[in-house]
Amino acid sequence: MMMLRRSTAALARNAAPATRAFSAAANASGEAKFEFSTPFELHRLDQGPAEFAVTNRKEMLEYYELMYTLRRMAMINETEYKARKISGFCHW
């Protein structure tokens, strides 16, 4: 087990930095604009979605809180399912 930890740590140190698929810039009002550099592939559509998104700190924290809550709920459901206390749960 110790060898696995050492090799994993060595891989993490030598890994190339991840490239970002978007860029962001915040303005004075606290809003951030994210521009998506990867083009969308369209199928039977005349035009695609916008190539940017604008958000603010409050909205992003709300999304994070929702994501965290859903993840915790899924983990608890998985535990209960494996313990055979429930027969299934909603998949999203």
pLDDT digits over 24-37, tens only?
Answer: 565 667 899 999 88
Q: Measured between alpha carbons, how far is 47 from 43 in angstroms, rounded to an integer?
A: 10
Look at residue 63 and tell me if it is in a domain: yes
17 assigned to some structural domain: no
Confidence of residue 63 (pLDDT cuts 50, 70, 90): very high
The pTM score is 0.54
**Token pair recorded at residue 70:** 């859903």
Give me Rg for the CA atoms of the chain.
20
- Whether 45 is covered by a domain: the verdict is no
d(CA 9, CA 25) in angstroms, rounded, equals 32
Look at residue 9 in the predicted model and tell me its pLDDT. Answer: 61
**Domain assignment present for 12:** no
Domain of residue 84, residue span: 57-92
Quote the CA–CA distance of 49 and 73 in Å, as a whole number. Answer: 31
Is the residue at 88 inside a domain? yes
> What's the mean pLDDT when you consider all of the chain?
80
Number of domains in the chain: 1
